[in-house]
Amino acid sequence: MTNIPTIQPDATPAEILRTGIEAAKGPVSLACSFSMEDVAIIDIAHEAGITMGVFALDTGRLNEETYEVADALVERYRMKIDWYFPRHDDVERLERADGLFSFRESLDKRHACCAIRKVEPLGRALQGLSGWVTGMRREQSVTRSDLRGIELDHLNNGIIKINPLLEWTEQDLIAYTEEKRLPVNRLYSQGYRSIGCAPCTRTVKPGEDARAGRWWWENPEHKECGLHRR
């Protein structure tokens, strides 16, 4: 079993990232949704000279603004993004049987949609990797409060999972992206604070947590798509 290295409480994101990649002892990639968090991680790795891959899941229902960020990152960092897509037959079968918005009918149906559009493609993306990097932060929601900087992903064959921004607040993130003039999804300026598939994401009201706009018809403890079940 892979040993999880100890992370000091004051470790920087670059230190967490570097330590996690070294512990993985093999190829590591960032799962990039082109969120503000993921953009910051790409810049942090670039500044620190840390090498990692980047992959993205195109669910078929992303916002145009998300693709704009992807294009800006390729231009700025001359980087390669490995895109993964849901299997066409599975999407066709789902929509023929249950319609275009079945995910709003029940938690089970929403999980079924996420399984096809996100979880199965993630499984293919992680094949051959020794570790993966996420932009998750503890502050985001109740489902992420026990997050660790480096952990084992038992849902994906026990590979290393690295969360370098776990301690960052939303203000830390905004300050970093503004200081570095990083590409940021235009939807943030319209009141979005967490951006996923277009039909499952809306603006966040004052006082709500950052992920309140994701699957807003569900209870907070259910707001994960299956990529980060704990």
Q: How far apart are CA 201 and CA 184, in angstroms?
A: 17
Whether the per-residue pLDDT at 144 is higher than 60: the answer is: no
Residue of 50, 210, 227, 51 lying closest to 138 (CA atoms): 210
Catalytic residue among 113, 114, 197, 225: 225
* Band (74; pLDDT cuts 50, 70, 90): very high
Q: What is the pLDDT of residue 103?
A: 93
Q: How many Cα atoms are found within 13 Å in the side-chain-facing hemisphere of 122?
A: 23
Encoding tokens for residue 114? 């996420």
153 versus 221: the higher-pLDDT residue is: 153
Domains within the chain, CATH numbers bracketed: 13-88+124-190 (3.40.50.620)
Q: Does the predicted model carry a pTM greater than 0.85?
A: yes
Q: Is 225 a catalytic residue?
A: yes
Sort strands 150-153 and 159-162 into parallel, antiparallel or unpaired.
Answer: antiparallel
Q: What is the pLDDT of residues 4-20, one digit of tens each?
A: 888 888 999 999 999 99
**pLDDT band (50, 70, 90) for residue 2:** low
Is the distance from CB of 28 to CB of 18 less than 8 angstroms?
A: no
209 Cβ contact list (under 8 Å, min separation 6)? 140, 141, 142, 220
What average pLDDT does range 139-150 have in this prediction?
A: 74
Amino acid occupying residue 203: T
CA dihedral sign, ordered 108, 214, 67, 162:
negative
